[in-house]
A and B are shown apart, each in its own frame.
Chain A
Amino acid sequence: MKASAETDEEREGLELLGPDGVAIPRYKQYVTFMVGDRAYGVDIVQVREIKQWSPTTALPNQPHYTRGVLNLRGTIVPVHDLRARFGGALTEATETHVVVIVWIGEQTVGVLVDAVSDIVTVSVDDIRPVPDSAPDADTSAISGLVNTEDHMVALLDLVNLFGVRRDHAA
């Protein structure tokens, strides 16, 4: 939360006005990755590193989409399965699968995906809101949609997806 909030502020501060007083379009970079044939993106400032999948240690009573925890150079990091988080089956993880290590506020979390594809630069103005169509669709997990040359990228709202919910902690 904090990390993204700060960077947003920074960008706000950097907003430049052109000679005619119109804001010069601001750009953001996203790391995109694939789960099946769908593309997702995460703000690059939230990505800490990308790691090859390695077996994790399961936790008792973990959420169905959590794959357990792994050792990231001495710290314990939970790994969540993005496919399962969006209602799919658990990913049958192999060595070719990838864990994207991201910062969510103060926490470091791993997200299991099929493959990392690209880094895209998009103008903030090109980010489209998610249409609230189906009432049961988990739209809070997506903060926006972007069209790239190949496909549509759904931008993830990591806080809503995997952030700590204190009410579950007890």
Chain B
Amino acid sequence: MDDNEDYQALFFTECGELLGDLHEQIDQLVDGQGDSETVNAAFRAVHSVKGGAAAFGFDALIAFAHVFETVMDRIRSGKMALSSEVGPVLVRAGDALEVLVEQARDGGGPADAMVERVRFELEELAGLRSAANEGEAQTPPAAAAPAAPEEMLFEETREVALRFAPGPDFLNRGHDPLRVIRAARDMDLIGVEPEGDVAPIESFDPWTCPFAWTLRFDTTLPQSKLLAFFDLYDDTCEITVLSDPDPEPSAQPPEGASPRPNDPGPAQAAAATPAESGEPKGEVASGTRTSVSKTLRVELMRIDRLVNLVGEIVITQAVLAQKLTETDAATSLEIGHSVEAMTRQTRELQESVMAIRAQPVKSVFSRMPRVVRDLADTLKKEARMVVSGEHTEVDTTVIEELAEPLTHMLRNSMDHGLEGPEERAAAGKPRIGTIRLSAEHRGERVIITIEDDGRGINRARVQEKAIEAGLIGPDDQLPPEEIDQLIFHPGFSTAAEVSSVSGRGVGMDVVKKKIQSLGGRCLLTSTPGKGTKFTITLPLTLAVLDGMTICVGDERFILPLSSVVEALRLENCVIERLPDNSRVLARRGEYLRLMSLRSALGVEGVAAPEEMAIVVDTETNGHIALLVDELIGQRQVVLKSLEANFRRVDGVSGATILGDGRVALILDVPSLVALGASQHFKSQETFH
């Protein structure tokens, strides 16, 4: 039983990937960018989902995938043009397939009206439903289709023998022959005979399976149903029918490649599903074999263990290097070289390990168009989504956390940002709104933007609500940008206009918190009448960062290298005092605010002269200069969480362990600046 569950989990993981690709391929086709290879790829994706579904008997899924596949096949063979009517149906079919996969995974649920509607459309396209027999098609297809596979069972059992020979890629793809055979027991397997032998140890290759098996079934299932079971592995193993007295029930009419248009009634056509699958399979196999890239599915946990270990090695290596400099060994050139080489290698090791976890944001982005389509439906708005930069790679840990805030921001844009078609037309905009979702690398960070061309933030309304909620005083004169940022405030509730879409009790503050907990930042710009743009910047990974070690008092801190602009010696600088007694530093004709880290962080201890100024980029308020005692050097640090055992600390994004085993805090420049600014006014915070 457990095996079977594992096995299903594998199927659903695969489905997730296939569906992601399928959405993308359909989008390309609809945009007219796809070629015949795209059609083929989409066809194969649907086919693979169907094959897997057949293995587990998800009948509703099989039936739908079959109709979908038939339509794709007609497009592939040129029998149907990709007209402007076909495109949207395909898009909806992709969504419906996803719904069905979700239902299969979560254990059923009622038939979805949307799915039924889409299937009807597909059947029309497939020619299974013509205008003439519309009346006949009134039979609810839901009832007919799932029942269909049962209809074609044999009256009596017969013995069928199949030869199952795993190919060279079989194990690499994460398949396990034992599981296959165990799963086959559900289909009245009565005997298994292995053939082949293990190679002698010197030529033994653990990655290929040297055996093949003859499987004997005593079954009522038609041959096609048996073969369909192996569809999931069809490009990594060979299945040969050794003997089958009677492949198909005689009642079943012989089926051609595509269902005939005048086939009477949809039920029978749907029943033809498995019978047909033999035909496209040959082509699929030859098509994929060449394009399969060598991949290995590995549990994330194993990689995480590796990442942690490498993190520890980086620290130990730093300790070792530091200890060596304190001994006489440092004088030896050879040891110096070795240490340098090791530093370089550890770094490469770490980069390689991190690269394993890097994933294109596509896996999250590809889910978003569906969110927009669903919302457009619910909200009676018209919207189109433009996605770009989906191949930008980010650490898996970041990607997993992205889906929720992204979905929420999209909801916000769809609900509050975009206007309805009439309002848009009246404002002289195209009726269909556009939401752009994009990702790009900038330095050590990834920037994700969500931009709509809607009405922008209603500042008067936001201000009104903020006053109601007591966030600002009625007489406060806020600059427009600050009003916009109010929507991120925890107390800013949209309760007054709860809709089923964004009024789900989750505010934008949750989005902001989530992004911040990932070490990211969330920015909002809005132009009334033109639209709103959310910009999220995130670190590429949550595990390591390049930092500059600085010294303030007795404490050492790490400044992320990505925010450091330059380091200056104070003796070479001109420092001026402003009337409010704050200090500024003149640098190449501009003045930078000077901030003492010692007072911002409340570092105690001897007052060493603050000799260095580090110019940092605050991302929001331009450059400022931080006063520090000493600059120690540059190094890569492993990020450790403070939140895990304590809580979030303002001005600090995390901590790391230094060569001597002590903890150094990693500073977070933007929140540090806010901390420094509030330091003057802040009364001693009381805890408890």
Chain A interface residues toward B at CB < 8 A: 55-65, 68-71, 74-78, 107-109, 164, 168-170
Contacts and interface: CB of A to CB of B under 8 A. Distances in A.
Given A63-B687, A64-B687, A75-B640, A58 B603 contact: yes
Contacts of A56: 663
* Dominant SS among interface residues on chain B: loop
Contacts of B603: 58
Contact of A109 (B490, B645, B655, B661): B645
A5 to B, nearest CB: 19
A145 B652 CA distance: 39
B462 interface: no
Given A57-B655, A69-B663, A76-B641, A168 B650 contact: no
A28 B662 CA distance: 36
Interface string B293-328: 000000000000000000010010000000000000
Contacts of A55: 662
Nearest to A160: B688
Contacts of A108: 645
Given A55-B662, A74-B657, A60 B555 contact: no
A170 B646 contact: no
Contact of A78 (B601, B645, B688): B645
B428 interface: no
A107 B602 contact: no
B467 to A, nearest CB: 21
A58 B648 contact: no
Contact of A76 (B513, B604, B640): B640
Contact of B652 (A60, A71, A74, A77): A60
Contact of A168 (B555, B663, B675, B687): B687
B432 interface: no
B490 A57 contact: no
B39 interface: no
Nearest to A140: B688
A75 B646 contact: no
A76 B644 contact: yes
Contacts of B665: 57, 59-60
A107 to B, nearest CB: 5
A168 B649 CA distance: 10
A61 B661 contact: no
Interface string B591-602: 000000000111
Contact of B663 (A71, A107, A109, A170): A71
A71 B662 CA distance: 6
Given A56-B663, A57-B662, A74-B312, A169 B647 contact: yes
Contacts of A70: 663
Given A107-B645, A164-B647, A170-B648, 12 more contacts: A58-B604, A59-B649, A60-B602, A61-B602, A64-B687, A71-B661, A75-B645, A76-B657, A76-B663, A107-B646, A109-B646, A168-B687
B640 A61 contact: no
Nearest to A107: B645
A60 B657 contact: no
B648 A169 contact: yes
Interface string B633-651: 0000000111011111111
Contact of B642 (A63, A76, A170): A76
Contact of A61 (B490, B641, B664, B685): B685
A60 B649 contact: yes
A109 B644 CA distance: 10
A106 B359 CA distance: 30
Contacts of A75: 640, 644-645
